[in-house]
Amino acid sequence: MFRHGVASGDPRPAAVVLWTRVTPTAAATPGSGKGPRVTVRWQVATDRAFRHLVRQGRFATGPSRDHTVKVDATGLAPARWYFYRFLLDGVASPVGRTRTAPAHDSDVTRLRLGVVSCANLQAGWFSAYRHLADRDDLDAVLHLGDYLYEYAPGEYGYGVGNVDVRPHDPPREMVSLADYRRRQAQYKTDPDLRRLHARYPFIATWDDHEVANDAWQAGAENHQPDEGDYRARRARAHRAYDEWMPVRLDGTAALGDGTRMFRRLRFGRLAELSMLDLRTYRDQQVASSVPGSPVGPVADPALSDPDRTMTGRAQLDWLKDGLRTGGAQWKLVGNPVMIAPVTFAQLPHDVLDPVNDVTGLLPRDGLAYNADQWDGYTDDRREVFTHLRDHGVRDTVFLTGDIHSGWACELPLDAATYPLGESAGVELVCSSVTSNNLKDITGSPPRTTSLAVETTIKANNRHVKYLDFDSHGFSVLDVTPERVQMDWFVIGDRADRGTPASWTASWATDSGTQRLRPVDRPVGGTR
């Protein structure tokens, strides 16, 4: 009856979102619009046996919300582990475990988050989720976008040839509301993802593939005229996301309540986490360069046009205000696409083109812009970095996904003079769970072609301290008053459901420095 597991998310000091999906009849499959309206009971307890209930209630659901259940369990104690479950007709769901955030005025000594992004079911098994679920030292899981992918079977799979390890359902690109509901349901049948959801609260934002590739406010690269109105498609995708994910949109836990994904969570005086939405409000991407110049292609001046935005004015002002006035020491930013500037010398096209297939990062003619990242909206980035400098904001860490590779970068106010100039903060980028990276696109052995590319990038960008184009896996972020450290863990073959994970690198930023340093072991001291 509870085939899609349970989940929790967006922990606050006295509340957490609880989620499940019920299948009351055989016909009531996801996206079908069939099945009766039912009332599901929910319970929160301090013990797994549910002898000590602290909160309980009822939630009515039916086909209008795809039989999903999402409640904001309030009246809880801060910084406390709880167990929760759902019941219908005497049948209990799996038991979930969740944790509330510390009180806003508490002196927290440590926050530890799992960090993931870019999980394409067709490209492999979610072993990264399995290894995170095996840990017992996290407070929550931070998902930075591309929780699922819109493609049809055969369109974007495993490595060269895009072979599907597991084909998508429905067997087409998702466009309709039923499509998005069915795809959300398919991902939540994955046992590793289901187990991770049941073990830790998620804090998630979306990137583009939750709707369509390279999305912007009025369209997407992977939206065609015969697929109807884009805004209607996006509204369907957002509705399904709201129904199926344990997140608060517009500050509530109601279903179909809106599309405002940007929000802020606080963990005592130690850290405040601002989650961004960098797709819903952005202007359309422009080309990285303009051909036809006597000296060759030149940067498109629209990339720095102050009238173009990635964030939208309301979100940008909200971000700046939170960074300046937040009462916590560390200002963490959940950032779906990379903010560090990246410039390049010319690379051979036989190397550069496969890199672009993975990341979209390298302009073909060596120019210093990437139109889909913050590099394509440099006025927004300048405003953020200048704001941090002018207001003396320290200890800012951008946490990023999207690019299917691991990075550790300082954030120069002027990349041309760095490292002589100032840094606005640091950026830590997690690798993909399964989505293709450089070696997968080229078919090259690991650490061969990529090494030359990484060396060139770091030589031309001295603020890039760590780069791994070849690995899949997850990261662990450890926050203390003294420093923030990111550990990168890599998995083996994505097609091997039992593939192991191993530690590969750690980087840290010390409080007040705005710089990065390598660390010789992950948190906990194990390798």
User: Which bin fits 293, alpha (ψ -120 to 50), beta or left (φ > 0)?
Assistant: beta
pLDDT at 302 (0 to 100)? 81
Quote the CA–CA distance of 477 and 497 in Å, as a whole number.
25
- The answer to whether residues 216 and 231 touch, using CB atoms and an 8 Å cutoff, is no
- Residues 6 or more apart in contact with residue 217 via CB below 8 angstroms: 279, 280, 281, 282, 283, 284
Could you tell me the sign of the dihedral formed by the alpha carbons of 506, 498, 21, 13, in that order? negative
Kindly report the CATH class assigned to 102-519. alpha beta
In angstroms and rounded to an integer, the radius of gyration of the C-alpha atoms of the chain is 22
3-state helix, strand, coil in the chain (%, to 5): 20, 30, 50
- The answer to whether residues 22 and 39 touch, using CB atoms and an 8 Å cutoff, is no
Outline which parts of the chain fall under CATH 2.60.40.380.
1-101
List, as one string, the DSSP characters of 59-76.
Answer: EEE-GGGTTEEEEEE-SP
List, as one string, the DSSP characters of 89-131.
Answer: TTEEPPPEEEEPPPPTT-----EEEEEE----GGG---HHHHH
pLDDT at 380 (0 to 100)? 96
Nearest to 375 by CA among 288, 316, 437: 288
- Find the farthest-apart pair of alpha carbons in the chain and give their distance in angstroms, rounded: 78
Quote the CA–CA distance of 210 and 263 in Å, as a whole number.
18
pLDDT digit of tens for each residue in the chain (527 aa)?
Answer: 999 999 999 999 999 999 999 999 999 999 999 999 999 999 999 999 999 999 999 999 999 999 999 999 999 999 999 999 999 999 999 999 999 999 999 999 999 999 999 999 999 999 999 999 999 999 999 999 999 999 999 999 998 788 999 999 999 999 999 999 999 999 999 999 999 999 999 999 999 999 999 999 999 999 999 999 999 999 999 999 999 999 998 655 444 556 799 999 999 999 999 999 999 999 999 876 666 554 455 567 788 889 999 999 999 999 999 999 988 999 999 999 999 998 764 454 465 556 656 655 544 334 544 789 999 999 999 999 999 999 999 999 999 999 999 999 999 998 888 999 999 999 999 999 999 998 888 888 888 888 988 998 898 899 999 999 999 999 999 999 999 999 999 999 999 999 999 999 999 999 999 999 999 999 975 44
Neighbouring-strand partners of residue 473 = 490
pTM for this structure?
Answer: 0.94
Asked if the peptide bond before residue 419 counts as cis, ω within 30 degrees of 0, the response is yes
List, as one string, the DSSP characters of 458-483.
Answer: HHH-TTEEEEESS-BEEEEEEE-SSE
pLDDT at 349 (0 to 100)? 45
Which residue type occupies 181?
A: R
Cβ-count burial 129-155 (b if 16+ within 10 Å, e if not) = bbbbbebeebbbbbbbbbbbbbbbbee
pLDDT at 289 (0 to 100)? 63
pLDDT at 255 (0 to 100)? 46
Exposure on the CB side of residue 215, measured as CA atoms within 13 A = 28
Outline which parts of the chain fall under CATH 3.60.21.70.
102-519
Pairing of strands 81-88, 96-99: antiparallel
- The answer to whether residues 246 and 10 touch, using CB atoms and an 8 Å cutoff, is yes
Nearest to 261 by CA among 273, 279, 276: 276
pLDDT at 161 (0 to 100)? 80
CATH architecture classification, 1-101? Sandwich (2.60)
pLDDT at 136 (0 to 100)? 96
H/E element holding 266? strand 263-267
Judged on CB neighbours under 10 Å (0-12, 13-18, 19+), 429 is buried
Instruction: Report which DSSP code applies to 27.
Output: T
Classify 175 as helix, strand or coil: coil
